[in-house]
């Protein structure tokens, strides 16, 4: 407690507290009374007790009568001041139309780009969000022969990995397998009455599927729907297509299984509808139309055992929370060896099991045999960086332009300070102006976003289903708005500091030069411009690199000619006779050049299910794994695939028994560099009897250019006919075909198909388009990066526009003097431009090494790729410098050509 000599600081603190809540009109009288009483108490009771009494007397005024009066007065003052701020802000924005338009457009572009990317990123990250226990569900994946083969990691696994793993380990609470019907019967179609549909997604699955996943069962019993053989659960959309308004429960759908499943329960190939399930959403890695009970499969095939080489199923485990996943992986691998190690040695295969969280599948999985093409986690991360960069550039623009405007208004600020405006009032004025600008920017951003999404949908074919799927929730919207508001508040801090530090007297004396002391210190704004153009150079160069790689892939010689080739999809139950009839029916059509057959269409992964072999050549003892493709004698000729050595198949040659053809990759894998050396060599273990290699073909790209050439052995389709094989019939149209000719060809092909297979649906696709669809992800990302790079460039140029505006304001008088002394317009433009080009050059120097490393890392994911060299950066850098030059000249031109007398009168 203070004594008599040191009581001043104590009194000051308590009087300051009183001032905070006491009305101004009462404070002076109350303060005098308190001080007088305090001095009296010091004399009468001493400093210590006087201090306690002062505290008590101050606190006695802290009561509703005083507080309410003060609050009411402040509310009136605040309301009046807010109205004044709004009027002044409106007038200022209307008066400075160019400033308003540029600032609003910059913020709106940044916000709209961020909003669009934000939607896309949220959608990509929302996969599997439907499932309530998604954090406990893992997919069992496999790595095969990792000591021998590099990179043979697969999304599929053997059927044993479901039931046996659950039985062995208590931390595994449930399992389900998810096996495509096509691995047993090839392509298929479903029939009910007069409804006949093909191209369906049908899977075998265990009863645990309905318990593990959160797909809603609309009709049927969750515990019984998938128990019995030949039971089928259909999606709601399929129920409508097949049964219209009828109840589907108990109805029989026919899918011809060709006797390749278990004993028929409801008559051959009939499946009884036992449930209706909701359609899987778009943001799920599982797409299905029908679910068939796993017990429908023959027990020997469904249990695994001697079918260890046949990894046809996808397996999912529900694992108890807190389990150690790495340890469980190791235990599963050891369990397989303990239970079935002897059987594995028959196929010389070794399997290591991995557990993959289902939430990682869409963005972070690129295994063989994926259910569908997954997203690109690196691409999504890169888009997030783009979003941050564009939004940051927009806020940098706001800082630069608002600072320029504040310096222009230094005289106004000086007058306001002279007549009594407080710091709080000046800050309030700026915040209101910022709020109005931001509101306008948000409204414009909404319009730009809506039109941009429509443009992206129409131009790039990229859908934005976030709203329809309920992914954009109210809480997410609130979070996005909070981020935008926080960014705007942070970006207004620097202009506020500029305004509040302007000295009133100097401002009145010197107009804009009242802020000269602060105005000269533009290092921060220069740094911000450098940051903007680092983003700009990075986005532009990245987009250019994406485009060059995409163009390289589309122009690359794939080793075959897919032009004007129509592919008709066959079905697993077809005999070779169907194809022969179909081919024969097309022979008389004049504009059809040739027809060929293959079990694998270029662009598709070669089916591994029974279509691989560990083979040796001649006296070799170490087997090599080759993919198997069955073809006819006209396949290579139809796609113009070159033969390097030997010959093709000759069905007319009766001595041509068990022939085989290999590609260059298989030739090298088997130890032969010269393709002529392997011709006529015996090939062991491909079929029951030894085959003989009759030819070697040049490598062609079976898969996209992300993948290396695969070692493949080709066998005659009649000798390697499996019901689960894919069947593709390739029809080559003669050169120069027009749109009408294609329509005629399709009509002839369909007629020939209907004659050869009258009950089977006609399905086709154009081979070139089918292959190019494998580059859909690259095409979409290139288009998006181009689109948002334009946003980044426009925003950066707007920021440069603001800094040039500031520079011309500061140097107006200097420019007038230089012109009087003889400077030309070109001299003035060079004077105003050189500093800014130094900044852009600094940005390029900073951006190029970072972008170089990023592009190199991305291109390393492609087996066939462009080279990263200096010339890859020339076009993007020139475009950035050109746009920057246009911006500087556009803003500086008026000052450069103005009469110097006006410049000298400027101040």
Whole-angstrom distance, CA of residue 111 vs CA of residue 189? 48
Whole-angstrom distance, CA of residue 50 vs CA of residue 37? 9
Region 273-294: what's the mean pLDDT?
Answer: 94
Phi, psi dihedrals of residue 867, rounded to the nearest 5°: -95, 145
Whole-angstrom distance, CA of residue 188 vs CA of residue 199? 8
Q: What is the pTM of this model?
A: 0.77
Where would I find the H helices in 766-897? 767-772, 776-810, 812-820, 825-859, 871-897
Region 96-104: what's the mean pLDDT?
Answer: 79
Region 369-384: what's the mean pLDDT?
Answer: 84
pLDDT reading at 4 higher than 50:
no
Q: Residue 76: pLDDT band by 50, 70, 90 thresholds?
A: very low
Q: Residue 468: pLDDT band by 50, 70, 90 thresholds?
A: very low
Whole-angstrom distance, CA of residue 884 vs CA of residue 881? 5
pLDDT tens column, 687-739: 666 888 999 999 999 988 888 898 999 998 887 777 667 889 999 988 665 66
pLDDT reading at 905 higher than 70:
no
pLDDT tens column, 118-150: 888 888 888 998 999 999 999 999 988 776 666
User: 727: helix, coil or strand?
Assistant: coil
Whole-angstrom distance, CA of residue 873 vs CA of residue 868? 9
Region 562-568: what's the mean pLDDT?
Answer: 92
How many residues does the structure list for the chain?
907
Within 13 Å and on the Cβ side, how many CA atoms surround 895? 30
Whole-angstrom distance, CA of residue 12 vs CA of residue 297? 90
Whole-angstrom distance, CA of residue 741 vs CA of residue 57? 102
Please state which of the ranges 8-17, 142-151, 458-467, 539-548 shows the lowest mean pLDDT.
458-467
Q: DSSP readout, 280-330?
A: PPTT-S---SEEEEGGGS-HHHHH-GGGTT---BEEEEEE-TT--HHHHHH
pLDDT reading at 180 higher than 80:
yes
Phi, psi dihedrals of residue 130, rounded to the nearest 5°: -65, -35
Contact of 176 with 209, CB cutoff 8 Å: yes
User: 468: helix, coil or strand?
Assistant: coil
Question: CA geometry: angle at 632 spanning 629 and 637, to 5°?
Answer: 100
Task: Tell me what percent of the chain is helix, strand and coil, each rounded to the nearest 5.
Answer: 55, 15, 30
pLDDT tens column, 402-420: 777 776 667 777 777 677 6
Please give the C-alpha separations between residue 805 and each of 725, 791, 799, in angstroms, as whole numbers: 70, 21, 10
The candidate with the shortest Cα–Cα distance to 749, out of 571, 631, 587, is: 587
Please list, in sequence order, all residues whose beta carbon lies within 8 angstroms of the beta carbon of residue 243, skipping any fewer than 6 positions away. Answer: 192, 251
Contact of 183 with 312, CB cutoff 8 Å: yes
Whole-angstrom distance, CA of residue 788 vs CA of residue 751? 48
Contact of 218 with 247, CB cutoff 8 Å: no
pLDDT reading at 674 higher than 80:
yes
pLDDT reading at 663 higher than 50:
yes
Q: Residue 906: pLDDT band by 50, 70, 90 thresholds?
A: low
Whole-angstrom distance, CA of residue 291 vs CA of residue 235? 9
Whole-angstrom distance, CA of residue 853 vs CA of residue 149? 29
In the DSSP assignment, the letter for residue 671 is T
pLDDT tens column, 239-266: 999 998 899 999 999 987 766 777 777 7
Whole-angstrom distance, CA of residue 601 vs CA of residue 653? 27
pLDDT reading at 442 higher than 80:
yes
Contact of 891 with 833, CB cutoff 8 Å: no
Please state whether beta strands 712-716 and 624-631 pair in parallel, antiparallel, or not at all (unpaired).
Answer: parallel
The candidate with the shortest Cα–Cα distance to 627, out of 571, 583, 666, is: 666
Tokens of residue 754, six digits: 């209907």
Whole-angstrom distance, CA of residue 169 vs CA of residue 151? 28
Please state which of the ranges 51-60, 326-335, 742-751 shows the lowest mean pLDDT.
51-60
Radius of gyration of the chain (CA): 38
Put residue 219 in one of left, alpha, beta given phi > 0 → left and psi -120 to 50 → alpha: beta
Whole-angstrom distance, CA of residue 98 vs CA of residue 107? 14
Whole-angstrom distance, CA of residue 192 vs CA of residue 474? 44
Phi, psi dihedrals of residue 304, rounded to the nearest 5°: 95, -105
More confident residue, 187 or 324: 324
Contact of 272 with 231, CB cutoff 8 Å: yes
Burial class (CB in 10 A: 0-12, 13-18, 19+), 98: exposed
Which residue(s) pair with 764 in the sheet? 568
Contact of 545 with 552, CB cutoff 8 Å: no
As a whole number of Å, the end-to-end CA separation of the chain is: 59
Report the share of the chain in percent with pLDDT over 70.
80
How confident is the model at residue 479, as a pLDDT? 63
How confident is the model at residue 21, as a pLDDT? 66
Strands (E), 668-727: 682-684, 691-697, 712-716
């Amino acid at each position: 407690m203070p004594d008599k000599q040191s009581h001043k600081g104590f009194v000051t603190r308590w009087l300051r507290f009183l001032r905070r809540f006491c009305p101004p009109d009462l404070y002076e009288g109350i303060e005098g009374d308190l001080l007088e009483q305090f001095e009296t108490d010091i004399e009468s009771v001493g400093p210590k007790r006087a201090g306690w009494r002062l505290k008590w007397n101050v606190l006695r005024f802290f009561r509703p009568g005083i507080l309410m009066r003060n609050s009411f007065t402040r509310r009136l003052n605040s309301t009046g001041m807010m109205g004044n701020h709004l009027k002044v802000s409106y007038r200022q924005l209307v008066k400075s139309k160019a400033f308003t338009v540029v600032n609003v457009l910059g913020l709106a572009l940044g916000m709209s780009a961020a909003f669009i990317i934000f939607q896309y990123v949220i959608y990509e990250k929302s996969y599997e969000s439907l499932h309530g226990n998604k954090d406990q569900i893992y997919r069992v994946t496999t790595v095969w022969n990792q000591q021998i083969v590099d990179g043979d990691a697969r999304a599929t696994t053997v059927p044993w990995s479901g039931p046996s793993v659950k039985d062995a380990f208590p931390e595994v609470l449930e399992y389900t397998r998810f096996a495509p019907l096509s691995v047993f019967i090839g392509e298929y179609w479903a029939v009910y009455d007069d409804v006949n549909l093909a191209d369906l997604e049908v899977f075998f699955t265990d009863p645990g599927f309905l318990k593990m996943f959160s797909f809603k069962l609309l009709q049927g019993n969750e515990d019984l729907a998938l128990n019995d053989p030949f039971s089928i659960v259909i999606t709601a959309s399929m129920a409508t297509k097949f049964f219209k308004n009828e109840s589907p429960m108990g109805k029989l759908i026919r899918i011809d299984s060709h006797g390749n499943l278990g004993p028929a329960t409801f008559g051959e190939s009939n499946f009884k509808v036992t449930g209706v399930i909701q359609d899987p959403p778009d943001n799920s890695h599982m797409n299905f139309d029908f679910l068939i009970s796993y017990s429908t499969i023959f027990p020997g095939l469904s249990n695994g055992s001697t079918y260890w080489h046949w990894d046809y199923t996808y397996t999912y485990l529900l694992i108890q929370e807190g389990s150690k996943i790495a340890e469980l992986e190791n235990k599963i691998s050891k369990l397989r060896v303990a239970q079935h190690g002897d059987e594995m040695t028959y196929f010389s295969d070794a399997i290591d099991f991995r557990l993959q969280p289902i939430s990682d599948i869409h963005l972070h999985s690129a295994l063989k045999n994926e259910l569908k093409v997954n997203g690109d986690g690196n691409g999504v991360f890169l888009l997030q960086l783009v979003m941050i960069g564009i939004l940051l550039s927009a806020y940098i623009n706001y800082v630069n332009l608002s600072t320029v405007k504040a310096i222009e208004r230094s005289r106004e600020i000086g007058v306001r300070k002279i007549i009594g405006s407080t710091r709080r009032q000046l800050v309030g004025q700026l915040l209101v102006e910022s709020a109005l600008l931001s509101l306008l920017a948000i409204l414009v951003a909404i319009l730009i976003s809506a039109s941009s999404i429509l443009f992206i949908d129409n131009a790039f074919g990229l859908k934005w289903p976030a709203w329809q799927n309920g992914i954009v929730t109210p809480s997410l919207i609130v979070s996005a708005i909070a981020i935008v508001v926080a960014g705007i508040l942070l970006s207004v801090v620097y202009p506020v500091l500029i305004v509040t530090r302007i000295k009133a007297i100097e401002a009145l004396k010197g107009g804009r030069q009242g802020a000269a002391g602060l105005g000269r210190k533009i290092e921060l704004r220069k740094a911000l411009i450098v940051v903007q153009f680092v983003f700009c150079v990075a986005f532009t160069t990245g987009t250019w690199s994406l485009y060059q790689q995409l163009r390289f892939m589309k122009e690359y010689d794939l080793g075959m000619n897919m032009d004007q080739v129509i592919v008709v999809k066959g079905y697993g139950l077809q005999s070779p006779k169907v194809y022969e009839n179909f081919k024969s029916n097309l022979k008389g059509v004049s504009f059809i050049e040739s027809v060929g057959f293959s079990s694998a269409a270029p662009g598709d992964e070669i089916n591994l299910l029974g279509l691989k072999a560990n083979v040796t050549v001649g006296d070799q003892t170490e087997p090599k794994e080759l993919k198997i493709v069955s073809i006819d004698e006209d396949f290579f000729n139809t796609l113009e695939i070159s033969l390097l050595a030997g010959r093709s198949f000759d069905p007319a040659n009766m001595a041509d028994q068990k022939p085989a053809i290999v590609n260059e990759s298989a030739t090298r894998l088997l130890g032969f560099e010269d393709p002529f050396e392997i011709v006529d060599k015996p090939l062991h273990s491909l079929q029951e009897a030894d085959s003989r290699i009759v030819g070697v073909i040049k490598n062609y790209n079976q898969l996209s250019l992300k993948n290396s050439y695969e070692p493949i052995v080709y066998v005659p389709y009649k000798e390697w006919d499996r019901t689960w094989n894919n069947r593709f019939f390739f029809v080559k149209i003669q050169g120069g075909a027009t749109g009408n000719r294609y329509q005629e060809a399709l009509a002839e092909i369909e007629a020939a198909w209907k004659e050869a297979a009258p009950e089977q649906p006609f399905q086709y696709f154009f081979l070139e388009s089918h292959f190019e669809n494998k580059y859909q992800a690259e095409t979409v990302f290139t288009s998006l990066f181009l689109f948002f790079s334009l946003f980044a460039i426009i925003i950066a140029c707007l920021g440069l526009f603001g800094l040039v505006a500031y520079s011309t304001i500061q140097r107006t008088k200097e420019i007038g003097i230089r012109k009087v002394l003889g400077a030309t317009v070109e001299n003035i433009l060079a004077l105003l431009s050189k500093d800014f080009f130094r900044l852009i050059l600094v940005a390029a120097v900073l951006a190029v090494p970072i972008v170089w490393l990023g592009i190199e890392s991305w291109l390393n994911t492609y087996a066939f790729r462009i080279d990263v060299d200096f010339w890859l950066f020339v076009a993007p850098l020139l475009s950035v410098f050109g746009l920057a030059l246009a911006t500087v000249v556009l803003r500086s031109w008026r000052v450069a050509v103005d009469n110097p007398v006006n410049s000298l009168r400027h101040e």
